[in-house]
């Protein structure tokens, strides 16, 4: 029994400390849009349509996470020329909303990468 307690203590003591960055610090890293834009002339109409569908779904899912005032604020930022990624970082979101939006964005990135790979552009 004493060995188990020592073992658990050793694992906790020697394991690296994991620091969770603030919500604003992890905002939308590694934009896949750069890769899409660099292959814009090589995109087939089908690939372009698939990527557009992924973006539209991402935007709808993000909007579903927000409350009414946040939607209005996001609409203001997007209509003033901001990209949706930077507009979302300006909103005051709680931790659950932020985590959900990060998951939505990561899923859309993976879907976009899959589309590009399927069409031989990755």
Residue (of 89, 86, 99, 92) closest to 33 by Cα position: 86
Question: Is the CB of residue 108 less than 8 Å from the CB of residue 54?
Answer: yes
For 27-65, the pLDDT digits (tens) are: 454 456 666 666 677 788 999 999 999 999 999 999 999
On the CB side of 77, how many CA atoms lie within 13 Å of its CA? 16
Q: In what helix (H) or strand (E) does residue 73 lie, and over which residues does it extend? A: helix 68-79
* pLDDT (tens digit per residue) in 7-27: 444 454 444 443 444 444 444
CA atoms within 13 A on the CB side of 11: 6
All residues at 6 or more sequence positions from 13 whose CB lies less than 8 Å from its CB, including other chains: none
Listed by start position, the domains of the chain span: 26-118
pTM: 0.68
């Amino acid at each position: 029994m004493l060995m188990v307690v020592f073992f658990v203590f050793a694992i906790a003591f020697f394991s690296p400390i994991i620091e969770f960055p603030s919500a604003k610090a992890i905002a939308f890293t590694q934009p896949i849009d750069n890769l899409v834009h660099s292959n814009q002339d090589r995109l087939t109409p089908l690939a372009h349509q698939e990527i557009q569908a992924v973006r539209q779904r991402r935007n709808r899912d993000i909007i579903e996470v927000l409350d009414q005032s946040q939607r209005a604020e996001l609409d203001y930022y997007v209509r003033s020329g901001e990209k949706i990624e930077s507009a979302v970082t300006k909103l005051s979101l709680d931790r659950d909303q932020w985590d959900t939006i990060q998951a939505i964005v990561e899923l859309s990135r993976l879907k976009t990468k899959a589309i590009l790979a399927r069409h031989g552009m990755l």
